[in-house]
Chains A and B, each alone.
Chain A
Amino acid sequence: DAEITQSPRHKITETGRQVTLACHQTWNHNNMFWYRQDLGHGLRLIHYSYGVQDTNKGEVSDGYSVSRSNTEDLPLTLESAASSQTSVYFCASSWDRGDTEAFFGQGTRLTVV
């Protein structure tokens, strides 16, 4: 069965370190997204991609970057981790139209100490 997987599921890192969270989908979806989930804020969009070599900033993109070198993967990089980036991160993917369902990974819980 097709799926979307995130790794690692949990990570603790130190302030100032670079961290990369992986997202891999086997749906062959064009669209991929990264959200962060924080209490009281719901899910907020960090970055998104509509296809290979395409990346776009979302609502809360400062301090994050993504790259899309193939259809299956959209890694999220925290350039210099800050305590404010402690959160649960979700990757999602969908077909290339807004009327279709988005499929979510299980999430990565990141703690910056």
Chain B
Amino acid sequence: AQSVTQLDSQVPVFEEAPVELRCNYSSSVSVYLFWYVQYPNQGLQLLLKYLSGSTLVKGINGFEAEFNKSQTSFHLRKPSVHISDTAEYFCAGDNTDKLIFGTGTRLQVFP
């Protein structure tokens, strides 16, 4: 059973527009949640993580995510995207010290 679900496989958006990438998790993962970004032909790098405490988490490059326990969601947002944000974004959850990934969302930013 899928433990981390990314609802959108592709999200097209124009430059300077806001964007939200959706992620839902199941009870099989702990509440250690992560967003990673993958630029073309590269490995993954951490954008942000939620471990505990404040439900609004800020990451690199102006991204933020909100942990919502009642909706089992961890959506990623950015108020104004740039061309350089074009990449694949992965939501992940911890399952006994190993990461379980969603299927990814391709963010395409158009000028």
Contacts and interface: CB of A to CB of B under 8 A. Distances in A.
B97 A107 contact: no
Interface residues of A, number: 25
A31 B45 contact: no
Interface in A89-113: 90, 92, 94, 96-99, 101-102, 104-107
A22 interface: no
Contacts, number: 59
Interface residues of B, number: 26
B84 interface: no
Contact of A42 (B42, B96, B98, B102): B102
Contacts of B110: none
A59 to B, nearest CB: 8
Given A41-B103, A43-B90, A33 B43 contact: no
A31 B96 CA distance: 11
